[in-house]
Structures are given as C-alpha cells and as structure tokens.
Structure 1
C-alpha cells in the first residue's frame, strides 16, 4: 500500500551545520543518553554499517524465489505468504529472537464476478467496469432494476444527512455525490431510507477506489464524475440496473512478531513492515524491500547487546486487503500495552526504481496529512537530520492512512518512517535531487507482475536501509526527543476522533 509523494520543501544537506539542543542542561542530558550532535551520531552509529545492501538484497532475492515457486505471489492466505513467514521466522530464530505468530480473524470481502451498472431508461447504456465505475469494497451482493433518484447533489454533503432522503421513494437506487462524510455513512443513510442500491459518483475528475469498510446493507458502487453527470442529465426518467456479486467470509491470517530480549518493557520501539504482496506479483519492492530492511536490522541489532529500550519487530499480514494485520494487532492491545509503546516506525517500499527519499510528515504540514500524535515531528526530524548529515536531500510525504502506521496514530502513538515512492509522478526538480526520470511514476511496477528484483533501485535500498538502521539504533538508546516532556509541548495535540480519509489504497470518503 502506498502513500502520495508530496512535499512542501526538501531538506538540503549542509555538512557544516551542527544542531545542539537548546540549554546547557539539555545538552548535558542528551550527551548522557547518547543524543549528541546529529552528524556525530550518524558517523558513529553501528547499525548502518552492519546492515549492508548486499544482505538486504539477499533477503529480497529469497522472497522473490519463494513467490516464484508458490504461485507467483506472497499474498496473505497463500502458500507464498506462509513460506515467506517461515523464512522470516527462521532468520529471526538464527539471530537469537523468539518470534511468534499473532493470529487473527477478519471479514474478507470477495467479489465473484464483475459488477454491472446500466441505464435502462430513457436511453439504454452500459457503463464499463473499472473505466466508468467500480464496486466499493465491502458492498453487499444484490441486483436491482429501479428508478435512479438524485440525493441533494447540489450540496457538498450529498447523502450525509437523513434529511437528504426525506422525499426519497422506497425501492429506488440512490444517486449520491461524493464529499462531506464517509461512503459508509452515505450508504447507510440510503439503506435506511429504503434504497435498494447506491451509486456514489466522484466530485473530482475521474474514477476512485472506495470502501465502506464493513458489509453494507445494500449494493454500492463508486462512479466517475462523467457518469454522475450523465445520470443527473437523465432527470426524473432515469432507470438503472445495478448488480454486485460479492460476499464477506470469515478468514484468518497472522503477523510475525519478535522483540529484543533486553530493554525497557515500558518504552517499546515498534518497527514494522508488511510481509504480504498483492496477488498480481511477487512484491519485491512492495513490500519485500521494507521487510528485508527491517529483518536485516533486527538481525544486526541482536549483535549489539541489550538495548536500553525494548525493540519490537513486526511483519504485518493482510496489509494489502486494508491494513488488517496491523489494525488487529493494535486493537488487541490493552491500555497499558498501548501506553508502553514509545513510538512506531513504518517501512513500506524502500527500493522504488525511480525513487525518492520520502519521510513521513510528522509535523502535519502537508494538505493530505492529519495532525500526527505528539512526538511524530521528532521522528521526522531524526530522519531528515540523518539524510542531511549524508548530504542527501529528503522530502516529506503525507500521513494519508495508506499504510500500517494508521492504527498506531489513531491510538495517539508517535509515528514515522520512510518511503521511496509509488504511484505519483516525479518532477524535474526531484530529478535534480535523486536522479531518475521526470514525468514517470516513482515505481512504475507498483502492484504489477513486474515488481521484481530486476526493477529495484539499489541506491534507494542502500540509502533508506541505512536511515532505517540508524533510526532503530538511536531510538533503542533513547526516545527523549519523541516522548520527553519538554519536546512534546512543541507538537500540536492529536485530533479528537482522528480518522484518515484512506484505508490502504481505498478511499473512505
């Protein structure tokens, strides 16, 4: 699952710059816990040296081989995922860890055949699946031919209130404009008003991928703005045929969790990457690269002795179906266990072929980010300062809800991490920063069969795995900048009732 690579301003490297903590007492305290000037830390850190690109590459090659011999992918619920988990578990055991499977059940949405959306009156027309419309995930199955009735479509909050359906005729199909609230709320309001189906058309150009998160009461599809305009133009004579062939079944999956033997149990650093791929390919970048970087970091950290803070490594399952593994894990923690987590670091794709150095927006400066939990800004600065010490440019990327940090942030846990770019387009200016090709996606092979070892940028893997290793080593020693009392006052408080606009690759609203 990926995040948009948008940045306000890059961080340029200046080797002469040395930032000290304000106040002599703060400096002395920082040095006492190993938090001296950033460049010195980067030069003396051991993990970035131990975590070599060759070793990370070996893990990625092994994951690709596993996919090759197990149906071509490593998707959750497949042999490819199971063998990938066995590999991770074996590697962790060899390094002295005691990895465990964290199992969970979840509602898995299955679509058995393509949906149908047609105008039957006044002028018959069949719309094209995946060009004009697509099923909202977790739509219930069903079929209906009925009048299509627009629901307050002049409003930016079409369908968000029961009042919008005051005159809605029971047994009709609701035509609703996107915006103002979640798709789940719009669909439930339509069902409560007696609708037999719902079509939510885009309030922006083009088609979108949406979800209602839990099984809906009526069939619901998302449509492009052009489809919406056609439906509204038909007026009161509009009649529609809608069919969705889908259901929800209960399935089980698991994460792999391992933690250091030593370290404070009440100040845990959680480091995560999703282990599963999509069904369409081996997922060597998405997310074999993040998995490999985290795995090798875990192996090398074990050689450094007991850390001051416990480090917990998590390899998430079922991420590609909606961040399910990480969400189930966080939901299963009690209040004390949540409070014991100092921070979460997420690594989802670090080897994109047309890469960038993207750091999650812990300051909440980008338009697509929610205000992150206190302490997230310090994590962002840790990565930025590391890249700066290496004369490498970095840019912020949105906290948009598209990866496994989501559940941690929603529980007020400071979060951060790295990303090498996905389905956004590289600019000319970004070519100056990273090289590569302007006008092309950062990862043209994202979610395709060509997400293979041949299409990995090894400079990206080298640079981002070094930064990954550095952050783990630093926070294993001290989390003072993240959850110390004084630094936390510099960050805006978490939003009440935080909810991301996205769940993985699907829009919630």
Structure 2
C-alpha cells in the first residue's frame, strides 16, 4: 500500500496546500534541492485550451456536460503526450441540468390595459406597455440546483422583500409568490435560504448581491455570481422553485418597480435538478521509488456562466505544467522518491463530487501501511 506524503491542491479560489511531514521538514530545514523549471507560456497554452472548450454561449465547463468531458479528455491526452501514464475515471453523481435559456423581465402595463374590457395587461395587445428585459449572466445568474419556474406577467405574482432572509423574516407572506433576499454579511448561505423557500411554498427565490465584488467589476453595482446548494441537507429537493441571484441594481429595480410600483415580474427557469450526470477525473502518474505518494490537484469544471479563469482554469493549467516539468526530471534523473499523482476533478462546483468520489474509490491505496 501507499502512504500519502502530501496533498497539494492548486487553485486560485478556495485553494489550499496540505503538507505531509516530509514536505514540512523540507520547508523548515536547509534542503538540498533545486527549484524545477516552470514555463509560464506553456501554462498559458494549457489555460487557453481549456477556455476554448467552454460552452459556445455561456463559456463555462459545467460538470456533467460535453464541455467538462472534453476538458477531462484533453487533460488526459496532455499527460500522455508528456510521456506520463494517465488514467481517466468516470463517476455518476447527482447533478442539475439547465435546459432552455432563463428569462427575467419586468412589465409596466400601458393605459389601454387598464380600460374595462381592454386587453389583458402586459400581453401583446397592451400596445403601450413598458418592458425591461434583464440580461442572463450579466444581470442575473441561475443558482446551483435551482428548480424550474414559469412565472408570467399574466400571473401578476406577488413579490415580497424578505430582507436578509433570516429565520425571523416573514417567509410565509411569500407563499406561492417570489421572495427577495438581500445578501449581506449576516445572510445565511444558499442551502438555508433554499430550504426556507421550499418549506414556505415559494414559487421563486431571488437573492440580491449586496456584499461581494461591489464596485470592483461594475461601478456602483455588485455583479451576480453562481453558488450551489448543499443538496444532501435538503430532502426532497424542490423541483418547482426557481432560484437566481441578481445584481444590486436589478434587485433595487424590482423593489422600486414591482413591489412599490405597478410593474409585473416574469421569471422563467428551466432546470432539472433531479437527475444524475457523469463527471470525470483524469490523473497523470509518475511512479516513485517508495510507498508514499504526493497528489497535485485542481478542478477542471467551472460555474456554468463563465470561463473560471482563477476558479480553476489557472490551477488546472498549473498542475499540467508541473506534471510536464516532473516528467522531464524523471527522464533525466530517474524515478522520484515519492509516487506523484497529478489529478484534476470534475463536479467541484456542485459539491466537491469528483475529489470525494475518487478518494472513496481509492481509499485502500491511500490508506497508511
């Protein structure tokens, strides 16, 4: 059996390095070593190839999609091209699947629609209605394991501002309606909010980003981002509760025009959160002289709505370049002291599925002698 000497996780967002005893001694002492080379241009090539494999419209490599599969296969191919033996393992895990494009908009009925016997407000015959369309991925982002919602203007659905959405908020007042929750430092995570929405029979849940990246990406605004839900804590997962995050400016517009005005909300998501998907874990392996191993890891999947430049495209590119350099060293100096694994995980964004499943499968190999 092999004993794990170290696990090195490479990532620009939430990454960490866990050191084994040998690595700590090496850091604290005066080791006899030479730094390996690192070709930043080659790492850039690896990163760009991953970006190029993203969704043609949304740019991401969502777990369980053809984009994630293509990325995993390309990484395995790169390891093999370096002369490093490589594996590609598959795991079936719970996963949500996004169908048709979502839609979010507001409509203020025209004067004609208010006339007795006139057209239904905000329908095509309400000729002087005013519609504001919000842009997917810029103004709003689907949240992980959202259900499906089909809320139209004609429904004239109730929208309730729930503040930060804590336990004392009046969630029941949003039953069969849409709840708005402002993301502040004290706001709980997506899992708790989604559970409260389900428990109170909400038709839709919208979080408003008011705490992260504010004024950094867009002046005077906070850009929405993807976060998942811990589905192991929710049983059953609600199928008909759409869940999105909007920017601060969009959230304020909904408050002003829908809650405090005459506008109506249209909120449509097409997400199947009840299925399974296949995720992938490629590993390049350099066999060592002893019975211990070092694992270098990063995740090759991304959020669905972006390239994941620092989370974790850059980390995966780094792992591949480190593997290439160690492969060159092996050809020059022979087998290293430790066995080296270079692995990238799928399913990270939705619940650390890839690394968890891989470790579960290889527990015997990873256990200490």
TM-score by length of 2: 0.62
Structure scoring higher RCO (CA < 8 A, sep ≥ 6) equals: 2
What CA deviation, in whole Å up to 9, does each residue of 1:424-445 have, x standing for no partner?
A: xxxxxxxxxxxxxxxxxxxxxx
Q: 2:210 aligns with which of 196, 203, 208?
A: 203
Which residue in 2 is equivalent to 1:224?
Answer: 247
- Mapping for residues 66-81 of structure 1, pairs under 5 Å: 75=61, 77-78=66-67, 80-81=70-71
1:219 Cα deviation after fit: 0.4
Q: Look up the SS of the partner of 1:168 in the other structure.
A: helix
- Mapping for residues 182-201 of structure 1, pairs under 5 Å: 182-201=189-208
Aligned residues: 297
Distance 2:329 2:203 in 1: 56
1:250 Cα deviation after fit: 2.7
Which residue in 2 is equivalent to 1:174?
Answer: 179
Q: 2:276 aligns with which of 250, 264, 283?
A: 250
Distance 1:278 1:223 in 2: 16
Q: More strand by proportion, 1 or 2?
A: 2
Aligned: 1:311 with 2:340 = yes
Distance 2:148 2:204 in 1: 10
Which residue in 1 is equivalent to 2:318?
Answer: 290
1:261 Cα deviation after fit: 2.9
Q: In terms of mean alpha carbon deviation, does 247-256 or 74-83 score higher? A: 74-83
Q: Which consecutive unaligned segments of at least 5 residues does structure 1 have?
A: 6-28, 342-509
Q: 2:102 aligns with which of 89, 114, 129?
A: 114
Which residue in 2 is equivalent to 1:367?
Answer: none
Aligned: 1:3 with 2:13 = yes
Q: In terms of mean alpha carbon deviation, does 311-320 or 73-82 score higher? A: 73-82
Distance 1:212 1:62 in 2: 27
What CA deviation, in whole Å up to 9, does each residue of 1:44-89 have, x standing for no partner?
A: 52462xx463xx7568658868998999999563474365145234
Q: Look up the SS of the partner of 1:184 in the other structure.
A: helix
What CA deviation, in whole Å up to 9, does each residue of 1:210-258 have, x standing for no partner?
A: 3333465400121222333344443497753321122245321321224
Aligned: 1:45 with 2:33 = yes
1:275 Cα deviation after fit: 5.0
Q: Look up the SS of the partner of 2:193 in the other structure.
A: helix
- Residues 160 and 210 of structure 1, relative CA distance in 2, 3 Å threshold: farther
- Residues 216 and 207 of structure 1, relative CA distance in 2, 3 Å threshold: farther
Q: 2:160 aligns with which of 134, 149, 161?
A: 149
Q: 2:330 aligns with which of 293, 299, 302?
A: 302
Distance 1:184 1:223 in 2: 17
Q: Look up the SS of the partner of 1:208 in the other structure.
A: coil
Which residue in 1 is equivalent to 2:166?
Answer: 160
Q: Look up the SS of the partner of 2:158 in the other structure.
A: strand
Q: CA RMSD in A?
A: 4.6
- Mapping for residues 73-472 of structure 1, pairs under 5 Å: 75=61, 77-78=66-67, 80-81=70-71, 83-91=73-81, 94-95=83-84, 97=85, 99-106=86-93, 107-118=95-106, 125-129=131-135, 130-144=137-151, 145=155, 146-151=157-162, 153=163, 158-161=164-167, 163-165=168-170, 167-179=172-184, 180-204=187-211, 205-213=221-229, 214=231, 216-217=238-239, 218-233=241-256, 234-235=259-260, 239-248=264-273, 249-262=275-288, 264-265=290-291, 267-275=292-300, 286=314, 289-303=317-331, 304-317=333-346, 324-330=353-359, 332=361, 334=363, 340=368
Q: Which consecutive unaligned segments of at least 5 residues does structure 2 have?
A: 1-10, 16-20, 111-128, 212-220, 232-236
Distance 1:203 1:224 in 2: 8
Distance 2:174 2:53 in 1: 55
1:118 Cα deviation after fit: 2.3
Distance 1:59 1:133 in 2: 32
What CA deviation, in whole Å up to 9, does each residue of 1:326-370 have, x standing for no partner?
A: 344345554x766659xxxxxxxxxxxxxxxxxxxxxxxxxxxxx
Contact 2:287–2:338 (CA under 8 A) maintained in structure 1: no
Contact 2:107–2:131 (CA under 8 A) maintained in structure 1: yes
Contact 2:54–2:307 (CA under 8 A) maintained in structure 1: no
Q: Look up the SS of the partner of 1:174 in the other structure.
A: strand
Distance 1:175 1:36 in 2: 51
Distance 2:130 2:55 in 1: 42
Distance 1:66 1:178 in 2: 32
- Residues 181 and 278 of structure 1, relative CA distance in 2, 3 Å threshold: closer
Distance 1:256 1:216 in 2: 33
